[in-house]
Structures are given as structure tokens and as C-alpha cells.
Structure 1
């Protein structure tokens, strides 16, 4: 077997630092063979400046919206952003496919090896057939009117079936998931969570103050969204619990759940989670800070999430709400807003934590023998990345 050997100023395994006294050994195909002391590594070592790291995991993306880059102005606020995405996402098929291919190229160049991708359409199927990145396809469904639940679910299941054909074990790489608490009826939630094989789910959660106000009080700016969509929500009654307990109750004990955005998650929410009575097996908090800034939402209170030992992961959201699909750019924004955070913690969110969230940690996320996590070299300031393997 031919080997590749790498050393750098720092070696980050996915969870801890090793010094430049250690050498990472891979096969030419990128499988991790070992990490050994430099004295035992022999010849042919490539010495690099910076940090060796496993590849990045993008836990939340909308690849199918890549053609909308620059279409929606920044700082519109949540409601106007949602309305514009719904009303302006229609483009000619060739334009959509070209944008999807270019966006995937950019993720590869930015050191991303796996993606949790939101899919409302089968538009990304052809690109994913190429097998250049690992994907978990989250087939998103929405429908706030109880009577439309079966019709909405059937439409999403038809999309699911197109992605399922790409995989030997479809449930390992595909799920049907709810869009958000304000866009999914209780009947639709039941169909989603009881769909056979639906063990990994995600939901847009507490992305704005307006969302919480609507769920808990039935008031606020979200009424403009329903008016714009022509939906009569006079039936809606606010939840007697907080917004988080109100929808977590729909999920099942054998399911893992990724909560996305969390800009309005507060101490009461985290206290509820800390009590340990959650209906789900595993809970991850995905932060997408550049999308939050683009739309005009605040960043999540990351230090509060850390205080409650939340499992944090990183996403890019879409090019409709971001200037690039780069996990490293998200880490830069977090580091700028929370300079007290250590690089080790940031990198773990972007590698091993993300792999665990997408249930891919037996393959990627860390430098462990037998895995193929990708190998990156990142400069000390987290300002640029190069993919080596």
C-alpha cells in the first residue's frame, strides 16, 4: 500500500490537539492508517504550516436554492425573506442545475466533506448521483392547514422516493422532515415522525423573535406571512407551553433531531431540555451565523448554549441567505462575535460534532483508523483552508 504522511504546526484530531511531533498517515485514497510519533514515521513526510484537521461537516444547507444567490436583499427580516424565497425561487431548469453544480464545487473547495441538505424538490438528485460529497437529504414538508396534511405528505414522499433510488439503504441517507413549528400542522407532524425509517430529523427552530411570539401568543409579524400566502389561520390557538416544548412533543424516543438557527433560544428553553425528559434520543443545535446576519436576525447566544452543554454543530444555510457555502467562514463569524472561544472547540463543532449529528461519525469527523474524513490544512487564524485529501 502507498502512504501519504502529513505533519503541521498543530494536528487536530476532531476532538483534541496533537503537536508537530506527530505524523498523520493515510492511504492514497484518504483512509486514515495511523497517527504516529515523528520518530517512527520514516521518510516522505509532507511538512505543512498551520493546522491539520478532518474535513468540515455542513449540517444545514439548501443546495437547491443556489440559483438565488444575490436575489434577495440583505436585512429584510424573517417574514419578508420567507415570502421572497417562496415567490422568487422559480428559475429555468438549466440555470438551477448550473448553480447547484457550482455551489457543490465551492463546498468541496472550502473543505466540506458532508452535508445535511434540505430538499423541497428533486433538483439536486442529478448532482448527487456523482457521489462527490456525502449527503443526508432532509426532504422538507410543510402545511399548516390540518386538512391538507395527507396531500402535503404525499407530495414530499414522492420527492423522497427520487432520492431513495440513489442509495442501497435509503433510510440511512434520507428523511422526511418538518420545515418549522409555524408551518406544520399537528396531523402533518404525526405523518412525518411516524414515517418508517425516519430516525434522523431536522427543523428550523426559533429563528426569530417573531416565530416565538406567534407560537406562544398568536400575535406578531408572522400574520403577514400567512396573509401573503393566502392562508386563513383564524383556527390557530397559542400553545400553553413554550414554543420549544410545544413541538418537541411530536418527536419519538428513537429519533435524533437537529434544531437549526436557535437565534431566539433562551434560558427557559435550555432549562427544559436540561431536565432530561426529552422525547428524542439525541439533540443537536446547528448555528448558521452568516445567514442570521444576512436575513437580519441576531446570532444565537452561543455562550448560553455552551453553558448548558448543548451539542453545537455548524451550517451555512443557502446562497439565498449567504454569500458563500463555507463552514470556515461561519467559524470566522463566530470567532469574531465570541473571541473567547478556543479554536479546538470551534473545530470540533465543524468536524466530529457535525459527523455525529448526521450519523456519519463511523466514516468521517475525526482522524481514526479506517475512517475517510478528508484532510485539511487550515491557517492559524482560521482565515483559509486547503483540502489535501
Structure 2
């Protein structure tokens, strides 16, 4: 067993413990938490640390299989150009893809991440996830904006999900602008019948809403670029999120990812529906692609369940939840450390259904332990660093 004492322990589910001591066994299970050395553990030496101890981080949005695209896509060009660039460079030798994914997995471990909700369009990461020390849930992601292709696309997704099993896996739509109503209905029917949480890219740019409202903007040009005829599509006279919410199941957890252009009317609209919606922010990717952040204050003021993700190395220079928290703190100084830690730990664990073991420092859990140093009181600074303890 090991014991660690730090300036503070942040259990997340409870108040911080000043000069706290946390004891873990060889498997990383929390045995005790206190501000004094307990009599049962007097013979266990205590490693004294400067900083705060927090649970392992939960990354609720990543594309590990795109890790070979690090530094290959020019930042700041907008989502439509980003999609075109990814389509142009994502194909590579499987050895290159898997080697980059393995390096990304190791990077996430080093940065104190313990669980990942990962998007996959192929079977390239099955072996990696089976061997990794990280907990993965894979979202097999479907694309297909042509109604006539829905059945074939969904059948292929079912087959790919079967390849990932017995790993944790589900089938999800990519985004409103890339999935037909027919394909959404197939996903809903499947989700209604079993355990199939969803993770959907949502309102990453204004063009997405413009496409759904008026059938104008960059996505019309994108489909022309891809040689796809979308004459059948009729504008919905409302934002993309409002258009697809009725097509989603009310029996599963749903993660809306990015939400860069989600507004208060969208949030009010969703509240009229019986849907279990969670919201994931990937601030560094938002800045990389669109050079803007979501209206985070709207979500905070509405008391919504918020999680954090890194997106892929195609749109980020590192896979680090602390880095995402730092970006949010810099742009929104009113966000407290307690709030950011909730977003980066327990909220993600609850969405992924692993909060019985991860997300908070509680006796009996195996959440992983991170040491944060370089804070200014309880504020994350450019000097704040993470060190994985367990």
C-alpha cells in the first residue's frame, strides 16, 4: 500500500481536505482518506507532496484513430475546411495509424487521464483498447446524408460494433449535417431496445445552423465538393439541434459535443423534451478549428451536466484534460477549480456509467490519483502541471 499527503485532497464529491492523506492498495483502490494518519496504517510511509491531489481525469471526447494527423491540418480555417482537410489526409498505412494511436494512449495516461469516450470509424484501435490501462468506451460513428444508403450504413456499423465487443461499445450519429433522418431513425430504434449511449457532434459552426435553417452556407458547398446530391433535403426553419432532438431516443444518455454555436433558445427547446442530454466542451479544439469558444456561461447558468474532451490530435496539440481546464479558466476566470474538476472527473464518469469506480476519491473506488502543482491558490495558471500518482 501507499499513502500520499498533499496541501489539499480534492475528493470532488466532498469538500477539499487540507493536509489530507489518501491511502491506496497495490491495485490503486482507495483504502482511506483523512487529515491524520490512521492507526491501521501507521507502518505505511507517507509520501509528502506539494500541491493538490485530484481524481484521474475523464476524457469524454476523443478520436484516437486520428492521432496520426497531429500538425497536419492548418488551424483556424473553419469546420468545413477542416472536414475537407481530414478527408484528404486521414488515410494512411495501418501501421502508421496504430503507432500514432498507441503513442496517444500513452500520452493520455501520462497526463492523468483514466477513461476515454472514443470515436471510431474503423477497427484499427481494437487491439490497442484491449491492452490499454485506460478504460475505453467506443462510439462507432455513422455518416450518411443520403436516405437510400441508411440501411447499408447502419448494417456496417452493427458489424463494426460486434468487432469491438466484448469491449464497451455503442453506435452513434456523427452530426446533424452528416446523418439523414432515415439513419437517425434506425439509430433511435436500436437505442430504444438496449444499452446504446450516444455522442453527437453539435453546432460546431454557424454554417451548421444556416444549413438547417435555409440550406445555405458552407455545408452546401461541402456536399458539392464531395459529389453528393442533396436536392432532397429541405431546410427546417430552425437550428440543427432543434431539428434532430425529436429524432433521438429518450432511453439513453446523449452527449452533445462542442456546442460552439448553441444558444439559449436551443437549450430552452431541449428542456421541452424528455431527453437525457449531457454537454461536452473541447475548448482547445474549438479554438483550433473555429477560433471561438461556446457560450459556456449559458450552460453553467442553466445547471446542465457538463463534461470535458480533447477531440483528436488533428485539432489539438495535446491530449490533456488539464490543458482544456486551463483554457476555460483563462477565458472565463469566474469558473472555480471545484467546477472545472467536476467537469473533468465525476461528470464524465457519470455519463460513461463508471462513477462507481472512477470520478471521485472515495473509499473502495479506483479512480486514479493526480497531483496538480503550480496553482495560484485555487486558480489554474500557465505553470500548473499534472503528475500521475496512481
Question: Normalising to structure 1: TM-score of the pair?
Answer: 0.94
Counterpart contact for 1:367–1:373, Cα < 8 Å: yes
- Structure 2 residue 57 is matched with structure 1 residue 56: yes
Which residues in structure 2 correspond to 1:312-327 (within 5 Å)? Answer: 312-327=306-321
Q: Structure 2 stretches of 5 or more lacking a match?
A: none
Which residues in structure 2 correspond to 1:3-152 (within 5 Å)? Answer: 3-40=1-38, 42=42, 44-152=45-153
Query: What corresponds to 1:175 in structure 2?
Result: 170
1:159-202 CA-partner distances (Å, limit 9, x unpaired): 111101x43xxxxx211000000111111011112224343111
- Aligned-pair distance for 1:69? 0.7
- Structure 2 residue 247 is matched with structure 1 residue 250: yes
Query: What corresponds to 1:170 in structure 2?
Result: none
CA–CA distance in structure 2, aligned partners of residues 198 and 87 of structure 1: 34
* Structural RMSD (CA): 1.4
Which of 210, 213, 229 aligns to 2:207? It is 210
CA–CA distance in structure 2, aligned partners of residues 16 and 135 of structure 1: 26
Counterpart contact for 1:14–1:347, Cα < 8 Å: yes
Task: Number of aligned residue pairs: give it.
Answer: 378
Aligned structure 1 segments of 4 or more residues deviating by more than 4 angstroms: none
What secondary structure is seen at the aligned counterpart in 2 of 1:129?
A: helix
CA–CA distance in structure 2, aligned partners of residues 230 and 178 of structure 1: 21
Compare 183-192 and 375-384 and name the one that shifted more. Answer: 375-384
Which of 341, 359, 362 aligns to 1:368? It is 362
Compare 8-17 and 257-266 and name the one that shifted more. Answer: 8-17
Question: Normalising to structure 2: TM-score of the pair?
Answer: 0.94
Q: Would the alpha carbon gap of residues 126 and 323 (structure 1) be closer, same or farther in structure 2, given more than 3 Å must change? A: same
Query: What corresponds to 2:284 in structure 1?
Result: 290
- Structure 2 residue 220 is matched with structure 1 residue 220: no
Q: Structure 1 stretches of 5 or more lacking a match?
A: 168-172
What secondary structure is seen at the aligned counterpart in 2 of 1:328?
A: helix
- Aligned-pair distance for 1:22? 2.9
Counterpart contact for 1:16–1:344, Cα < 8 Å: no
CA–CA distance in structure 2, aligned partners of residues 128 and 314 of structure 1: 20
CA–CA distance in structure 2, aligned partners of residues 215 and 358 of structure 1: 30
What secondary structure is seen at the aligned counterpart in 1 of 2:367?
A: coil
CA–CA distance in structure 1, aligned partners of residues 117 and 258 of structure 2: 14
CA–CA distance in structure 2, aligned partners of residues 108 and 291 of structure 1: 20
CA–CA distance in structure 2, aligned partners of residues 126 and 326 of structure 1: 22
What secondary structure is seen at the aligned counterpart in 1 of 2:247?
A: coil
- Aligned-pair distance for 1:380? 4.3
- Aligned-pair distance for 1:39? 4.8
Counterpart contact for 1:32–1:370, Cα < 8 Å: yes
Query: What corresponds to 2:335 in structure 1?
Result: 341
What secondary structure is seen at the aligned counterpart in 1 of 2:51?
A: strand
1:318-360 CA-partner distances (Å, limit 9, x unpaired): 0011101111111111111111211111111000011011111
1:205-244 CA-partner distances (Å, limit 9, x unpaired): 0111111111122111111110111111111111144322
CA–CA distance in structure 2, aligned partners of residues 308 and 244 of structure 1: 17
